[in-house]
Structure 1
Amino acid sequence: MKLFGKYLLILFKSQMQYRASFWLLSFGQFFIPFSVFAGLYFMFERFGQIQGWQFYEVALCFGVIHMAFSISECFGRGFDMFSSLVASGDFDRLLVRPRGTVVQVLGSKFEFTRIGRLLQSLIVLGWAIAGLDVSWTLPKIVTLILMIASGVFIFTGIFILVAAMCFWTIQGLEIANIFTDGGREMAQYPLNIYQKWVVRFFTYVIPFGCANYLPLLYVLGKTDGSPLPYMLSPLAGFAFIVPCLLVWRIGVRHYRSTGS
């Protein structure tokens, strides 16, 4: 963690060398999800509800998933840009250093301009919490925090899987955007508005449903039976990163230098 902190400090200082560019990019990142949220707001203004879900309930789901994505994109950007290290042969340098490759790749790139997206998500989350008629007990607050953290682990796990594929494909696969950007767009709504196969896939394979939909039912008081499984469902997001790291280790073992 000390090494990771040094990576953070070095890259933050480098990005702050061009402060006007930094703040303009942060400002732009604030308005990218804002336009999406505006579309969500006007949709509810027109239709009132979506399959029984009210605006503030969906806004809570929106805020959680976009906050998780912005945090993951900020700190996991090294894996998202990993293909350039493989294609150029620069990954060789990471292999001879006395630290794990995961920490080094994680620390190779940070996108601090995502603070704009994070701020917008925080505003939406606060607005949703203020508008909901929910009694916020300690277990519900902890569950909400776990929802965000679980989403961060899921998105980071996907970034790791995509990066691991570069050991065989060299270049990054654009199809991976289905599970990153597409997963974010899909998970900003409660899962039960989709087809059953979509719900199953994004619950048992890529557990976005465990990060937002199932615990959301508990937070809103819509659970059937014991609330404990709904409270603990975000833990699936933490478990998701384990097989992702295993695939990464397999990829590192099969890495062949580009020879450049």
Structure 2
Amino acid sequence: MKLFGKYMLVLFKSQMQYRTSFWLLSFGQFFIPFSVFAGLYFMFERFGQIRGWEFYEVALVFGVIHMAFSISECLARGFDMFSSLVVNGEFDRLLVRPRSTILQVLGSKFEFTRIGRLLQSSLVLAWAISQVQAEWTLLKAMTLLFMTVSGVFIFTGIFILMATMCFWTIQGLEIANIFTDGGREMAQYPLNIYQKWVTRFFTYVIPFGCVNYFPLLYILGKTDGGSPIIYMMAPLAGCVFLVPCLLLWRFGVRHYRSTGS
């Protein structure tokens, strides 16, 4: 972690060499999600609710998912840009260094300008918490924090899977954005508004439902007599999801063949 912190400090200093550009990009990242949130607001203004979900309940999910995505996009950006390391032959250099390739790829790129998106989603989340009809307790607050952490793990796992494909495809595949940008857009709504096959896929394969739906039922008191422990612990699936992603990464590294660049 000490070395990871040094990576972050070096890249932060390099990005702050162009401070005007940094703050303008951060400013833009702050306002980009507003268009999405405005669409969410006007939809509920027109229809009132969706499948029994009120606006502030969905706004709570919106804030959690966008916070998780912004943190993951900042810290795991190296995996998102990994294809350039393979194409240029730079990954060969990482292999001969006495540190984990995961640590080195993580430390190769940080997008600190995502602080704008993080701030915007934090404001939405704080507003939703103040307006939503829920009896807040320490356990519910911890569950909300756990939802965000789990979301970070899931998005990071998807970035790692995208990077792993580059060992065979060299270039990254745009189809993978279905599960990053598309997953973010899908997960900002409670999962039960979609068809059953979508619900099952994003519960048992990519467990967004364990971040944005099951723990939300516990926070809002909608578990219908089910054990609250199960709903509270549902975000653990996000942490578990990262394990096979890391194993697949190790498999890809073992079978990597240099591009010869």
With the shorter chain as reference, the TM-score category is over 0.9
Provide the residue aligned with 1:89 in structure 2.
Answer: 89
Which runs of 4 or more aligned residues in structure 1 lie more than 4 Å from their structure 2 counterparts after TM superposition?
A: none
Question: Which structure 2 residue ranges, 5 or more long, are not aligned?
Answer: none
Provide the residue aligned with 2:114 in structure 1.
Answer: 114
Provide the C-alpha distance between the structure 1 equivalents of 2:11 and 2:42, rounded to a whole number of angstroms: 39
Provide the residue aligned with 1:27 in structure 2.
Answer: 27
Give the letter aligned to residue 238 of structure 1. C
Provide the C-alpha distance between the structure 1 equivalents of 2:11 and 2:246, rounded to a whole number of angstroms: 24
Report the TM-score, using the length of structure 2 for normalisation. Answer: 0.99
Aligned residues: 260
SS at match of 2:21: helix
Provide the residue aligned with 2:56 in structure 1.
Answer: 56
Provide the C-alpha distance between the structure 2 equivalents of 1:42 and 1:212, rounded to a whole number of angstroms: 21
SS at match of 1:98: coil
Provide the residue aligned with 1:204 in structure 2.
Answer: 204
Provide the residue aligned with 1:135 in structure 2.
Answer: 135
Is residue 246 of structure 1 aligned with residue 247 of structure 2?
yes
Give CA deviations for 1:193-212 in whole Å, capped at 9, x if unaligned.
00000000000000000011
Is residue 231 of structure 1 aligned with residue 229 of structure 2?
no
Provide the C-alpha distance between the structure 2 equivalents of 1:145 and 1:66, rounded to a whole number of angstroms: 13
Give CA deviations for 1:38-69 in whole Å, capped at 9, x if unaligned.
11011111111111100000000100000000
Is residue 166 of structure 1 aligned with residue 166 of structure 2?
yes
Give CA deviations for 1:48-93 in whole Å, capped at 9, x if unaligned.
1111100000000100000000000000000000000001100011
Give the letter aligned to residue 251 of structure 1. G
Provide the C-alpha distance between the structure 2 equivalents of 1:128 and 1:43, rounded to a whole number of angstroms: 16
Spell out the pairing of 1:2-13 with structure 2 (5 A cutoff). 2-13=2-13
Deviation at 1:135, TM superposition (A): 1.4
Give the letter aligned to residue 236 of structure 2. L
Deviation at 1:245, TM superposition (A): 0.2
Provide the residue aligned with 2:260 in structure 1.
Answer: 259
Moved more, 103-112 or 218-227: 218-227
Deviation at 1:133, TM superposition (A): 2.0
Deviation at 1:132, TM superposition (A): 1.0
Deviation at 1:259, TM superposition (A): 1.2
SS at match of 1:52: coil
Provide the residue aligned with 2:46 in structure 1.
Answer: 46
Give the letter aligned to residue 231 of structure 2. Y
Deviation at 1:20, TM superposition (A): 0.3
Deviation at 1:258, TM superposition (A): 1.1
Provide the C-alpha distance between the structure 2 equivalents of 1:145 and 1:97, rounded to a whole number of angstroms: 36
Identical-pair percentage: 83
Give the letter aligned to residue 113 of structure 1. T
Give the letter aligned to residue 70 of structure 1. S
Give CA deviations for 1:123-165 in whole Å, capped at 9, x if unaligned.
0000100001211101101100000000000000000001000
Give the letter aligned to residue 246 of structure 1. L
Provide the residue aligned with 2:184 in structure 1.
Answer: 184
